[in-house]
Amino acid sequence: MTEFDPEKFEEKYVYYFEELEEAYSSAYQQLHGQYDSTVLKAIDRQVLSESEPFYEGNGEFRVELPENPQERVGAVADHEQFDAVLAELVDRIESELQRLFEFDGDA
């Protein structure tokens, strides 16, 4: 595991690409089978692919979504699970980043 450096996170795709990829993938896999796969896939491909993770300090991460995520997925946004899946995926990604960078609750 690469040691976390907040300054390097400014250039996260250079220094932490593998960890970011792992966090997003792990969050997706955790929800696979729990929610409608059409909703999960649409959010992953159309919204999360354009999201941006940020390090907030004190071991906390934030995932910023692109504007108008509902418009990005079209009719899938009307699915009853859309908001819940989107919120859960963001929460899981943030948690996975904390775990991967070894900030699990003790930060």
Q: pLDDT at position 3, please?
A: 81
- Global confidence as pTM: 0.91
59-85 pLDDT, tens digit per residue, is 999 999 999 999 999 999 999 999 999
Q: pLDDT at position 107, please?
A: 40
Would the pLDDT of 105 be above 80?
no
Q: pLDDT at position 106, please?
A: 47
Q: Is residue 44 within 8 Å of residue 25, measured between CB atoms?
A: no
What is the rounded average pLDDT for all residues in the chain?
Answer: 93
Higher-confidence residue of 43 and 3: namely 43
Torsion, CA 79, CA 83, CA 98, CA 30, rounded to 10 = -30
